[in-house]
Amino acid sequence: MDPTTQAALAAVVGAIVAGGAVLAWHISDRQRSQLPNVDEPLVPPGVAAVLAVLRSSAIVVDPDGHVLKASAPAYALGLVRGSEVLVEDLRELIRQVRRDGQIRETELQLGGEGTTARTVVARVAPLGSRLILALADDRTRERRVEAVRRDFVANVSHELKTPVGAIRLLAEAVTDAADDPEAVHRFARRMLIESDRLGTLVQQIIELSRLQGDDPLEKPVRVRLDEVLAAAVDFSATEAEAKGITLVTAGEEDLEVFGSLDQVSAAVSNLVANAVAYSEVGSRVLVTTRAQDETAQISVVDQGIGIPAREIDRIFERFYRVDPARHRSTGGTGLGLSIVKHVAATHGGDVSVWSVEGQGSTFTLTLPLSPHQTPSPSSPPNRDVDPGADIDQQEVRR
């Protein structure tokens, strides 16, 4: 075959191949145009299901900063409204993560005037190549517990330093007064007082720590309130006698509650000791019991200095003192009423207070009656006891 014929044949074959390629491209393009348009979802499949089971508040944000998906806790916490992230600090964190793709974490303070302040820990990370995922956990309770624990440790340290320092100073004074028997005797008495105060404080810290564990009562038993009241009165009898205070018990006998004898005794003893400590010389402290609505109510009534109305809501806080100077002079630790509150809670009961400044106070510890007991139909109505009222001598048991 001569060269001219070969060239012509090659040209024809090339034209046929080129035409076939063009035809194939047109057919392929036509087929693609006939396929339905399927938009790739912005939120990856399965993300919504994962967000639904997360305890954290979760938010998925698109490239424009709009919320594509958010869990219910995110709305409840006030992080999201509609398609907008409401918290500016969180929006800024999302912008930073979008810029450089680095995971970031921060602590946010939510809530303003008139709303409850909340502490939220937010963690923001890329989700794929276009989306941002923000997770937020409400840590308000944890931070509050940490603050309470720090305050507790600080207060305990402060309270322990006082008697320990006093004992050290008194010991030095005894050493310096070795040739003066009267001074040695006086300082020794003070050392005994401070050591007793230190022992009481340590014991109350131990009791309060045990109660704050929220552990269930171990081997609860029937607790006879007659025995509890007798022990509480006997515990404060010496101090009451020294101040000329009359301790009187009255009310219903043979009442029983179900719980811990030691804890109930500690609670009632603290109430009676407080009443004696804050009562005037020559006054009277009344301790009564009664059954009402399947509960036993132990009321301790004094004719003491009373509590200002603005302070009543805080008196059950640990180490809180209405009058710090007065507490110091009476040797109070500021833990007694906290112990009462925790004992009440542990036993499914409550403690309340009625007080008028300058007239006296009534503390009422309410505990469920033992299951086998029913309230007496002749029980008096539930009312605050007037500390100044006369007592029917027929009701006096002690």
How many angstroms separate the most distant Cα atoms in the chain?
147
Return the amino acid letter for 206: I
Structure tokens at 66: 């709009």
Q: What is the pLDDT along the chain (398 residues), one digit of tens a residue?
A: 565 665 555 555 555 555 555 555 555 556 555 544 444 446 666 666 777 777 788 889 888 888 888 888 888 888 888 888 888 889 899 999 988 889 999 888 887 666 678 888 999 999 878 888 999 988 888 887 777 677 666 666 766 776 777 788 888 888 888 788 888 888 888 888 777 767 766 776 666 666 555 555 667 788 899 999 998 888 888 888 888 998 988 888 888 888 888 888 888 988 998 888 888 888 899 999 998 888 899 999 988 888 887 777 777 776 565 554 444 444 455 677 878 888 888 888 898 988 888 888 899 999 988 876 655 544 444 434 444 444 443 343 43
Q: Looking at residue 186, what DSSP letter applies?
A: H
Q: How many CB atoms are closer than 10 A to CB 92?
A: 14
Going from the N-terminus, what domains does the chain have, and what CATH number goes with each? Answer: 47-138 (3.30.450.20), 142-209 (1.10.287.130), 217-368 (3.30.565.10)
Our CA angle for 98, 103, 107, nearest 5°, is 105
**pLDDT tens digits, residue range 67-110?**
888 888 888 888 888 888 888 889 899 999 988 889 999 888 88
pTM for this structure? 0.52
